[in-house]
Structure 1
Amino acid sequence: MMRIAALAASLLLATTACSEAPAGEPVTRVNLDGTPRTQAASPSPTPTQVSGPSACRAVVFEEVPLTHCTADPAQHRIAMANLGGDKQPFGSLTAFAGSVDPSTIAFAVNGGMYGDDLKPIGYFVQNGERLAELNRGDGAKEGGGNFYMKPNGVFFGSGAKWQVLGSNTFFNTVGDRPEFGTQSGPLLLVDGKLHPEIQDDGPSKAIRNGVGVDASGKAHFVISDAPISFGQLSRYFRDVVKVSNALYLDGQVSSVWDPAGSRLDKGRVGPIIVVTKREKAASE
């Protein structure tokens, strides 16, 4: 899904200014029923909105507006979703939102690469059940694409411990099946350095998102609200979020549902990463 606006010319690598976004609406917002809405002031909560603080905030990095959502192990749990009650993919955050109690959700984002059938093309674990094997295929044989820009990686975890690892490292070191996991690619950061095939600020710019886990164990999900290069997104994770490994989740279809922020992006998605409020999850 494409949203807002072209940007000014690319900045030099040395420019890494990041600031809180000014007040206002950085992106188009919609109600849970998919209808557009405008917001001049904070309205009273409705059945499709959730009161309380949002886990997402608006920032600006190198003149690109971003939405930065943080999952804290002390407050949140993470799970994957793909298939609905009819055993068919949800296909959109709108459909997923209609299947759950919004008050239990901190936020949800698109969660990795998928095929034409909207099912994951790589490793995928939901509720401890492995639904797809680790994909170690050669991009030349599989049709290419960002997923096969090696190294790609896996975002996974159990309980309050979450990680991003390269797919080969994951294969060689992780023996126990996690509670959740999703494979995507490429890695934006590999041990603190930009992926070897990512330029500092390449010509390809699109709506993109990714995830990284910091030293304290918090997972950071970042989505651009205007076109961004791979290099810019990678540097945000390196210089601002300060993670060692960051994983690209997707482009163009990058979407977020933030109930407390009254944001529900439209667009076709496959796997979904769901961040729930721990106090709600603990009572289930």
Structure 2
Amino acid sequence: MLNLRRLAGVVLSAIAVSVSSAAPERREINGVDYHLLKTSPESVEIVWKGATDEPLRTFPQAKEYLEATGRTVETLMNGGIFEPGGIPSGLLIQSGKELNPVNRRDGKGNFFLKPNGIFLISKDGAAVIDTTEYPGKHASIRCAVQSGPLLLRNSRIHPAFNADSESRLHRNGVGVTKDGKVLFVMSDRRSPKLPNLHEFASLFLELGCADALFLDGDLSQMRSGGELDKYSNQFGSIIAVMKPAD
């Protein structure tokens, strides 16, 4: 029987992250500096296009678009891998509308390292699923983004990941905890040590997630507060954590 507390020779310890509607928490875990934000599915939005049907691309543009609806943006983070022009590499659902179809093709690069997956918010809450499972039982999907590779599915680390890999890079991802909360994680670019993919997946397991998805790499950013209005990298989809409605 698989012992999830001892996987690939790494002893996993429980790390608590409180549910927050504020700024991300900065923590050093296993020698890597991370930004962590745990929130409820109701607070999460995924956007790609604005009111003029043009890609939003940057954090200031996404904030302006979202706050025009009367709500307040608390945190923004880039979403999944994208193609030139900011076109998502796979599925993108925004406000209940499919703006880009699911991508089941084979190819090169992280997005196509099968199994890849989809992060979604539906009427039943948040989920990270294998692309081959889409849409499955998930009806009335409010927002979704496809990326890859899957980090975790049913508490199992992606079979292609190597615990001894020397590929240590800046990364961000999203997981869903066993109690249904959404957990966003990004390494700190200035961390003296960066994670390989196996370590990044293991972190989500440590933090109570059974399912998690890699979002992107070197250009990843997570910002809150006054930082939201500053120039950001250009992205495809953008994930927002909104202030709960009164």
Q: TM-score, normalised by structure 2?
A: 0.83
2:35 is aligned to 67
- Determine if contact 1:110/1:273 at 8 Å carries over to the other structure: yes
Partner of 2:222: 256
Q: C-alpha distance in 1, partners of 2:80/2:228? A: 23
Amino acid at match of 1:86: T
Note if contact 1:18-1:60 (Cα within 8 Å) is conserved in structure 2.
no
Partner residue, 1:134: 102
Amino acid in structure 1 at the alignment position of 2:37: C
How far the C-alpha of 1:67 sits from its partner, in A, is: 0.3
Query: Which residue in 2 is equivalent to 1:149?
Result: 113
After superposition, the Cα gap between the structure-2 partners of 1:127 and 1:228, relative to the gap in structure 1 and judged at 3 Å, is same
Moved >4 Å (runs of 4+): 15-20, 260-265
Q: What letter is aligned with 1:229? A: N
**1:63–1:237 CA distance, 2 compared to 1 (3 A):** same
Letter in 2 for 1:14: V
**d(CA) in 1 for partners of 2:176, 2:66:** 26
Structure 2 residue runs of 5 or longer lacking an equivalent are 1-7
More strand by share: 2
Consecutive unaligned residues in structure 1, runs of 5 or more: 1-11, 21-51
Q: CA deviation at 1:160?
A: 6.5
Can you list the C-alpha shifts for 1:96-132, whole angstroms capped at 9, x where unaligned? 2344449711312111111101011211100000111
Count of equivalent residues: 230
Cα distance change of structure 1 residues 223 and 201 upon mapping to structure 2, 3 Å threshold: farther
Residues 41-52 of structure 1 aligned to structure 2 (within 5 Å): none
Percent identity between matched residues is 27
Change in Cα spacing, 1:80 to 1:145, as seen in structure 2 (3 Å) is: same
Provide the rounded CA distance (Å) in 1 between the counterparts of 2:208 and 2:21. 24
Larger CA Rg, structure 1 vs 2: 1
How do 1:1-284 and structure 2 match up within 5 A? 14=10, 54-73=22-41, 76-101=42-67, 104-139=72-107, 144-159=108-123, 161-171=125-135, 173-174=136-137, 176-225=139-188, 226=191, 227-239=194-206, 241-259=207-225, 266-280=232-246
2:215 partner letter: L
